[in-house]
Amino acid sequence: MIRLGLMGCADIALRRMIPAVAATEGIELAAVASRNPDTARFVAQCADAEPVDDYRALLERPDIDAVYIPLPPVMHAEWIGRSLRAGKHVLAEKPLTISYETTSEMVALARASHLVLRENYMFLHHGQHRRVRELLDEGTIGDLRSFSASFAIPARPPQDIRLRPELGGGALFDVCGYPLRAAQLLLGSDLKLLGSGLRLDPRQRVDIGGSALLRRADGVTAQLTFGMDHQYTSEYELVGSAGRISLRHAFTPPVDHRPVLRIERGTCQEELVLQQEDQYAAAVAAFVQDIAGNNTAVDPATVRQAGFIAAIRRTADRSCGCAS
């Protein structure tokens, strides 16, 4: 049994990850730490775990095997590093850190320590994307020509941490990651950034939307759009020489949602209805399997992701004449 420590009581932890841990065999939430001791006690009581006074005390516990870190992005590097040095496996919310260099350092530390380090893009563990990959490999839409993906959410309340640049907020660090990671998943690692743009909110001093264009060596392009003051959008589409596949609810499908893959070939249209899945529990189960199987190899896409985000920022700054 893997004993997990929760480092921070963010909304994603309370709504998604604590129930997912409870539903997964081989792992249990053993301790909860928060900057607010009252919050730690309340959450621990609800989850049948032990409250811990602070993050350092959590890492000092010899009975904790792994930690889940849903802290604000600007805090990730410090506490991922502390956790790995304390001998704990780490599942951290995205982005892993807010810089390419620091992400590379954390990955190197995990490898040297022979510990599991995972960036928690939960959508990767939903079977709908594996089915899309199978359709592409089977030549269902012919030769792939282009990929487009969008992930956008409605405007956040003013106090939301995603609107605070000093905490690592902004659409680039938050919602951009989903279509960007999906492009890597479906198009592979041979991608180059051609251009990007960001839209800034001068009141919040943070980027609230943007787009990026990537290209594979064979000419396949990926158009990505993202934002935090939009109509909710969560979808992608692949266009080939002989057809098209589209998927809605691509990144945050509800647990009871049955995915529908829409396939168009010429004048023929087909809807492939898949089984509902809990991607949150699947992400936790994958983390458990990695620890149990001693799979400490860090996904190379994690470092590439950080590199793309840094490049999108630089390219967008140059295009608008802003300082890098």
- Does residue 94 have a pLDDT over 70? yes
Query: What average pLDDT does range 228-257 have in this prediction?
Result: 97
Query: What average pLDDT does range 295-320 have in this prediction?
Result: 92
Query: What does the pLDDT look like over 100-153, one tens digit per residue?
Result: 999 999 999 999 999 999 999 999 999 999 999 999 999 999 999 999 999 999
Query: What average pLDDT does range 225-253 have in this prediction?
Result: 97
Query: What does the pLDDT look like over 43-58, one tens digit per residue?
Result: 999 999 999 989 999 9
Quote the tokens at residue 278.
Answer: 């809990």
pTM (two decimals): 0.94
- Does residue 324 have a pLDDT over 50? no
Query: What average pLDDT does range 70-85 have in this prediction?
Result: 98
- Does residue 204 have a pLDDT over 80? no
195 residue type, one letter: G
Query: What average pLDDT does range 188-192 have in this prediction?
Result: 96
Phi-psi group of 106: left, alpha or beta (phi > 0 → left; psi -120 to 50 → alpha; rest → beta): alpha
Which pLDDT band, with edges at 50, 70 and 90, does 96 fall under? Answer: very high
| Percent of the chain predicted with pLDDT > 70 | 98
Query: What does the pLDDT look like over 210-219, one tens digit per residue?
Result: 999 999 999 9
- Does residue 304 have a pLDDT over 60? yes
**Domains observed in the chain:** 2-122+282-298 (3.40.50.720), 127-278+308-320 (3.30.360.10)
Main-chain phi, psi angles of 176, to 5 degrees: -60, -35
Summary mean pLDDT of the chain: 95
Q: Specify which residues 206 forms β-bridges with.
A: 201
Residue appearing with tokens 């608008």: 320
Pair 132, 188: CB distance under 8 Å: no
Q: What confidence score (pLDDT) does residue 205 get?
A: 84
Per the annotation, the verdict on 94 as an active-site residue is yes
Is beta strand 89-92 parallel, antiparallel or unpaired with respect to 27-33?
unpaired
Q: Under DSSP, is residue 46 helix (H, G, I), strand (E, B) or coil?
A: helix
Q: What confidence score (pLDDT) does residue 254 get?
A: 94
- Does residue 21 have a pLDDT over 90? yes
Pair 110, 185: CB distance under 8 Å: no
Q: Which H, E and C letters describe 256-319, residue by residue?
A: CCCCEEEEEECCEEEEEECCCCCHHHHHHHHHHHHHHCCCCCCCHHHHHHHHHHHHHHHHHHHH
Q: Under DSSP, is residue 203 helix (H, G, I), strand (E, B) or coil?
A: coil
Strands, E assignment, 26-108: 27-33, 50-52, 66-69, 89-92
94, 125, 129, 181: the active-site residue: 94
Tell me what percent of the chain is helix, strand and coil, each rounded to the nearest 5. Answer: 40, 30, 35
Q: What confidence score (pLDDT) does residue 323 get?
A: 43
C-alpha span between 280 and 259 (Å, rounded): 15
- Does residue 198 have a pLDDT over 60? yes
